[in-house]
Amino acid sequence: SKTQVGFIGLGNMGNPMAKNLLKHGYPVIATDVFPESCKEVQELGAQIVDNPAEVADKADRIITMLPSSPNVIDVYTGPNGILKKVKKGSLLIDSSTIDPAVSKEMAAAAEKMGAVFMDAPVSGGVGAASSGKLTFMVGGAEEEFTAAKELLSCMGANVVYCGQVGTGQAAKICNNMLLAIGMIGTSETMNLGIRLGLDPKLLAKILNMSSGRCWSSDTYNPVPGVMEGVPSGNNYQGGFGTQLMAKDLGLAQNTATNTKTPVPLGSLAHQMYRMMCARGYANKDFSSVFQFLREEEGQ
Ligand code: NAD
């Protein structure tokens, strides 16, 4: 029979991910600082404990899904952190999107305790988390990949090995920088076309059969009414928050600074999403940059 899997961080993504582990027959032992977040998985049979150290005391495979770097540092190395009680030989998988330098620090701290840490951030959003179709980008010791994949494939359709620890984060950060640039480009293009008198649905159709086509134009169009089942059709509720996108663009800027890499459009995208956070868009989906651009025009 399957042994317990620990899960820490039951938010928008962690909740459906933990549910998929339960569905695949893994007993789950979980915790979250926000007790409300634990209710649904508890009702589905997960055991809820008070803190990460207690999870580590009972499970030797643990997945963490937390907002950002400081939360990950706290959950691993804090006073009630995983590393206070971790068992030798444990496999610790962090699926949060954080600074790759922090992933490396956590890996070094885990190694001191005889445990293995891997970074495995995800692409796909809440819908893909619910349907078990996430993409995992995994960094860490290659000989541990098979063990990690066994768990991650319950929650994802693609589990890709990227290289040493931190490279999963590197892949994720690069993807989101391009996504942000593409979303802003799609939004300003759609807005220009509308102001030139084009019907937005027709313009989207033309883009999507032409060389301007991208994920933001054909799968997640930011203009209300062009597509159904996307946040732009629902006043930009749900989806991937502007605040989280701004965080990921900040991570891209840090890594670009550290490696002296020019990323002019990534930098501009970061500043635009920061401005949006300051202007009340923090919790709207990141495709609301279309609405933000319209406001800038005084419409
Ligand atoms: P979220 O804020 O909804 O969930 C995070 C959870 O962690 C919350 O329930 C919070 O209470 C809990 N938490 C925070 N600190 C904790 C601590 N010290 N101990 C225990 N629990 C703690 O965030 P999310 O949308 O689930 O995203 C999680 C990560 O996944 C982020 O790094 C995000 O960038 C990334 N991500 C999100 C999406 C998305 O579409 N939402 C997609 C891909 C990647």
- Res. 299: pLDDT tops 70: no
pLDDT in tens, 246-297: 999 999 999 999 999 999 999 999 999 999 999 999 999 999 999 999 985 6
Mean pLDDT, residues 9-19: 96
Q: Output the CA–CA distances (angstroms, integers) from residue 251 to 11, 195, 220, 255, 266, in the order listed.
A: 21, 35, 23, 6, 11
pLDDT score of 234 = 95
Counting ligand 1 atoms within 8 A of each CB, the residue from 65, 249, 287 with the most, and so the one to mutate, is 65
Distance 202 CA to ligand 1 centre (A): 37
The alpha carbon of 95 and the centre of ligand 1 are apart by a number of angstroms equal to 9
| E runs forming strands in 20-167 | 28-31, 47-48, 61-64, 91-94, 116-119, 122-123, 134-139, 156-163
**So what's the pLDDT on residue 296?**
59
Across the range 19-42, mean pLDDT stands at 97
- pLDDT tens for 121-178 read 999 888 899 999 999 999 999 999 999 999 999 999 999 999 999 999 999 999 999 9
| pLDDT at residue 163, rounded to an integer | 98
pLDDT at residue 33, as a whole number: 97
Closest ligand 1 atom to Cα of 96: 32
pLDDT at 297 (0 to 100): 60
Query: pLDDT by residue (tens digit) across 181-224?
Result: 999 999 999 999 999 999 999 999 999 999 999 999 999 999 99
Instruction: Compute, in angstroms, the gap from residue 248 CA to the centroid of ligand 1.
Output: 13
pLDDT of the residue at 264: 98
Tokens representing 217?
A: 């134009």
Residue with tokens 């959003």, as numbered in its chain: 125
pLDDT of residue 298: 53
Among 17, 80, 244, the mutation site with the greatest number of ligand 1 atoms within 8 A of its Cβ is 244
Count helices and strands in the chain by DSSP H and E runs:
14, 9
Q: 14, 7 in Cβ contact below 8 A?
A: yes
- Taking the centre of ligand 1 as the mean of its atom positions, its distance from the CA of residue 35, in whole angstroms, is 14
Alpha-helical runs (H) found in 196-288: 200-208, 215-218, 242-258, 264-276
Atom 12, ligand 1: which residue's CA is nearest? 9
Interval between CA 206 and ligand 1 midpoint (Å): 37
Look up the ipTM and state it.
0.99
Ligand 1 residue neighbourhood (C-beta within 6 Å): 8-14, 31-34, 37, 65-68, 71, 74-75, 96-97, 122, 125-126, 240, 244
Atom of ligand 1 nearest to the CA of 134: 43
pLDDT at 117: 98
The pLDDT assigned to 239 comes to 85
180 compared with 298, residue with greater pLDDT? 180
Measured between its terminal Cα atoms, the distance across the chain in Å is: 61
Enumerate the active-site residues: 172
Using alpha carbons only, give the angle 74, 76, 82 rounded to the nearest 5 degrees. 125
